[in-house]
Amino acid sequence: MTTRITITAADVQIGDLIYDGPGANAHPTFAWETVTKVHRVDGLVMLTAGRLDSANGEFWFDPAESVTVIRHPPEKVEEVVTKPRHKRGH
């Protein structure tokens, strides 16, 4: 289950989804892009969404500015418990 949250731009993480506007496709679900890079430049937060070689997916924010993102909860890693093998002696 994903969670849509509003956080400060300084708290955005790689892997969060950020709204990139309607673009060429009017369907709203195609407007969410994955944040692939978070970088601080001259006191601002630069978020790069999508491919790293394109400057089209850059977003500039003040670190305290509110940003709405979709964040997937961290996956729970289940510990593998090995059961002891009891061998009977004959």
Q: What is the pLDDT of residues 20-35, one digit of tens each?
A: 665 555 555 567 888 8
Tokens linked to 47 = 């978020």
pLDDT at 89 exceeding the cut of 70 = no
Per residue in 49-74, pLDDT tens? Answer: 877 676 567 888 999 999 888 888 87
pLDDT value at residue 82: 77
Widest CA span in the chain: 75
31: left (phi over 0), alpha (psi -120 to 50) or beta: alpha
* Domain boundaries 3-71, corresponding CATH code: 2.30.30
Structural domain boundaries of the chain? 3-71
